[in-house]
A = this chain, B = another copy of it.
Amino acid sequence: MVEEKKNATIYDVAAAVGVSLATVSRVVNGSENVRPATRDKVLAAIKELGYRPNAVARGLASKKTTTVGVVMPDMTNLFFSELTRGIDDVAHMYQYDVLLTNTDDDPERALTAIRNLADKQIDGLIFMGSQLSDKVLTAIRATGIPVVLAGSVDKDQQLPSVNIDYKMAFSEVTARFLESGYDRVALVTGSADRAIDVDYRRAGYEAALLKAGKKLDEELIFPGARSYQDGVRLAKVIRDADANAALVYDDEVALGVLNGLQDEGLKVPDDFEIVSANNTTFTLVARPELSSIDQPKYDIGAVAMRMLTKLMDKQDLGEEQILLPYTMVNRSSTK
């Protein structure tokens, strides 16, 4: 028979020292109100017994789990994994653990995830993804759990969020293309109907067009590409549309477009310029290297998590809609 060495409980250390469990609880939680001598004895017993507080019991009694939920589309996408890395680091810095769920941007799965996380009594939630449907928003609200959006916008800006100014960034890139004489700028977005694609990326693109006295040509807008392979396929279509430049929302897709175009004999950047938007490692490995909008991905996650800690502590947030600065990184896919 193997002896099951049960974990020591707070009772065991209280008994060992000859104090009440309240006192042990106090020293564990760093309360001032303990005589140093008592504290030392308790500490010694804790060490001796190898006592570690049971976080579940704690959670039940205190109604705080020191756990946050992170709901994201797909952790194998570098954009999101870098955001999440920022979240994770800051979360652990503040002693929170992270419950992670991938949704593949499926609202149903997001719904399930949120409810499930709420059941686990998470103290806060970070939500990512282009698809923030009303149902999901309602579900989040219903839980009453503090939430921050990271790299994600909700149409009506009802929730605290951290982003860059997507509209301005897309407008800026488009304007540059136009100024450089590239008059047929293709825009590749994630979807045809989501806020981030329509109200920000496309809106920025359109704004630059209008400012330059041109009007938007629907045939130059390409929604729906999600993978490298999608990008490769898209290259032909973009070429057939007679575009001479492209602004692509995702690096892998951009790389697909780049390689696809080159495989068809186009010279980048001489015949065609491409700018991507996430500045992940993918932009560096491309030949030519991809110019890109540089979003501070890690920081977006980190700042979002930091905001969430304030929310969980019921501190004042100040500005709820944070826009972090972005920069343009010019590499060899543009002149």
Contact = CB atoms under 8 A, between A and B. Distances in A.
Interface of A: 52-57, 59-60, 65, 67, 74-76, 78, 81-82, 84-85, 88-89, 92, 97-102, 115-121, 228, 252, 255-256, 259, 281-282, 284-287
B100 A98 contact: yes
A100 B117 CA distance: 14
Contact of A56 (B81, B84, B121, B256): B121
A29 to B, nearest CB: 14
A115 to B, nearest CB: 7
Copies per complex of this chain: 2
B60 A285 contact: no
A48 to B, nearest CB: 15
Nearest to A109: B92
Residue from the set A53, A89, A99 with the largest chain B CB neighbour count within 10 Å: A99
A54 to B, nearest CB: 6
A75 B255 CA distance: 22
B74 A85 contact: yes
A256 to B, nearest CB: 8
List the 6 shortest-distance A-B pairs measured between CB atoms, nearest first: A100-B100, A56-B59, A55-B120, A55-B119, A76-B81, A56-B121
A102 B75 contact: no
Nearest to A113: B92
B75 A285 contact: no
A123 B47 CA distance: 24
A284 B228 CA distance: 9
Contacts of A100: 88, 98-100
Contacts of A85: 74-76, 102
A259 B102 CA distance: 33
B102 A89 contact: yes
Contacts of A78: 76, 78
Given A98-B99, A100-B98, A281-B252, A119 B286 contact: no
A285 B287 CA distance: 9
A121 B100 CA distance: 17
Given A54-B60, A56-B121, A60-B60, 19 more contacts: A52-B118, A52-B119, A54-B119, A55-B120, A56-B120, A67-B99, A75-B75, A75-B85, A81-B81, A85-B102, A88-B100, A89-B102, A98-B100, A98-B101, A100-B100, A228-B285, A259-B287, A285-B285, A285-B286
Contact of A88 (B53, B101, B117, B287): B101
A284 B54 CA distance: 47
B52 A56 contact: no
A100 B81 CA distance: 12
A47 to B, nearest CB: 14
Given A52-B115, A56-B65, A284-B228, A97 B120 contact: yes
Contact of A121 (B55, B92, B119): B55
A75 B84 contact: yes
A179 to B, nearest CB: 29
Contacts of A228: 281, 284-285
Nearest to A63: B56
Choose among A53, A57, A115 the residue with the greatest number of B CB atoms under 10 Å from its CB: A57
